[in-house]
């Protein structure tokens, strides 16, 4: 049997668990809160299906976007509740109107975790709308249910991170005409355990339960978005990315999965039909659309995506060049640099008295190496400016 990759390369997509006919593989959390496959060797027959299914072990066929658009929905209320321009909601509405089912990331009822759910009603799109900066805790049944829907002939839209799209595609083994997939430019996925600890601490401080969570609150505009929580007692927590400990640690790559630092799917070529992103820098390219309520970059990666996009209603769009699209979105193809403070954070995570304090400390502490790198970059910049 082909050897399984070291855990640091596993993305947690769960394709191996889904394909196992003996149900010998379970996803179990490690001490940092990330889930990895565990094999019950009393059930395993060493058939090799899991290794042959793993998207990290096996190369897939990908394609580069043929078109790139700046897009936003004409529904301002949907746009304001979306992370960027509301493109996902427009796609979801179309699939549901055609009798289909939409799968996307949703909070649990207590907001302590995130997992994929399937929705069939337009009024439920809000559950999937908006970024969730937490890794989904999906199990083997997710991919199995999607396959059942596809085999029944129903239109299906699946939205997820690049590794989740790769995992689903590997599990399905073939392309389905009734499946649309949407991924995004991904910075990395934070630990579910860290998120659960953080939101629990906020609830304890406010002596109330969470009623609503938004990682991309646009109260101060799209470009200066905030993290906010509405509590059951009427209290509201709202802080900018810089000031909120959880978001600051995420942006500084302190809490993300190890495999995210060497992601094999961080490239221009994608297996998904669509890739979405915030159109940062849009004011220089599409100033007529720049009202600070959000614009989506939509990468059209397949023939199916072209025909789907051309059939959409209730959107404004402008074609943009690859250079303009990627100028401030280099994380689509450039790996996230490893932050040494990640080690410091997880070394102290399970014994900390305050997750907020530890997140703040890890996000803002400077090691000798980070100081040296910063100094080198400043010197290099000065040399460049003097030329």
pLDDT of residue 264: 96
pLDDT, tens digit, 9 for 90 and up, residues 141-173: 999 999 999 999 999 999 999 999 999 999 999
Question: Which residue ranges in the chain fall short of pLDDT 70?
Answer: 1-6, 367-378, 380-387
pLDDT of residue 140: 87
pLDDT of residue 381: 59
pLDDT, tens digit, 9 for 90 and up, residues 322-338: 999 999 999 999 999 99
pLDDT of residue 2: 38
With b for 16 or more beta-carbon neighbours within 10 A and e for fewer, the 215-238 pattern comes to bbbbeeebeebbbbbbbeeeeebe
pLDDT, tens digit, 9 for 90 and up, residues 222-232: 999 999 999 99
Q: Read out DSSP for 1-67?
A: -PPPPPGGG-----HHHHH-TT--EEEEE-TTS-EEEEE-TTT-----HHHHH-TTTS----B--SE
Apex CA 210: angle with CA 206 and CA 212, to 5°? 130
Domains and CATH numbers, the chain: 7-53 (3.30.70.20), 67-190+256-332 (no CATH), 192-255+339-386 (no CATH)
Closest to 195 in 3D by CA, of 276, 268, 137: 137
pLDDT, tens digit, 9 for 90 and up, residues 181-209: 999 999 999 999 999 999 999 999 999 99
Query: What percentage of residues in the chain have a pLDDT greater than 90?
Result: 90
Q: Which residues, listed in sequence order, are joined to residue 227 by a DSSP beta bridge?
A: 239
Radius of gyration of the chain (CA): 21
pLDDT of residue 374: 62
């Amino acid at each position: 049997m082909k050897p399984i990759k070291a855990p640091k390369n596993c993305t947690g997509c769960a394709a191996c668990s889904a394909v196992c006919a003996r149900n010998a593989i379970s996803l179990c959390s490690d001490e940092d809160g990330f889930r990895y496959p565990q094999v019950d060797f009393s059930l395993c027959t060493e058939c090799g299906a899991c290794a042959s299914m793993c998207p990290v072990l096996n190369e897939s066929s990908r394609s580069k976007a043929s078109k790139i658009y700046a897009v936003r929905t004409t529904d301002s209320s949907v746009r304001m509740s979306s992370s960027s321009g509301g493109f996902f909601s427009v796609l979801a509405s179309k699939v549901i109107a055609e009798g289909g089912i939409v799968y996307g990331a949703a909070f649990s009822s207590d907001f302590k975790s995130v997992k994929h759910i399937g929705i069939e009603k337009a009024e439920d799109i809000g559950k999937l709308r908006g970024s969730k900066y937490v890794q989904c805790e999906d199990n083997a049944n997710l991919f199995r249910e999607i396959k059942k829907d596809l085999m029944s002939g129903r239109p299906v839209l699946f939205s997820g991170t690049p590794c989740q799209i790769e995992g689903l595609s590997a599990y399905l083994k073939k392309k389905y005409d009734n499946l649309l997939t949407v991924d995004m430019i991904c910075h990395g996925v934070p630990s579910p355990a860290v998120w659960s600890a953080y939101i629990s601490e906020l609830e304890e401080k406010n002596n109330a339960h969470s009623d609503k969570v938004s990682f991309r609150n646009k109260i101060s505009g799209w470009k200066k978005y905030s993290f906010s929580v509405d509590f059951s007692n009427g209290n509201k927590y709202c802080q900018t990315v810089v000031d909120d400990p959880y978001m600051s640690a995420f942006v500084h790559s302190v809490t993300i999965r190890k495999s995210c630092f060497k992601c094999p799917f961080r490239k221009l070529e994608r297996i998904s039909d669509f890739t979405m992103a915030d159109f940062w820098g849009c004011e220089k390219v599409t100033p007529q659309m720049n009202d600070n309520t959000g614009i989506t970059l939509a990468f059209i990666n397949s023939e199916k995506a072209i025909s789907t996009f051309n059939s959409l209603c209730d959107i404004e769009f402008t074609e943009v060049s690859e250079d303009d699209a990627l100028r401030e979105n280099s994380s689509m193809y450039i790996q996230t640099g490893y932050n040494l403070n990640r080690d410091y954070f997880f070394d102290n995570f399970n014994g900390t008295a305050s997750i907020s304090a530890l997140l703040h400390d890890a996000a803002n502490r400077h090691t000798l190496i980070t100081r040296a790198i910063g100094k080198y970059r400043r010197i290099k910049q000065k040399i460049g400016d003097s030329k």
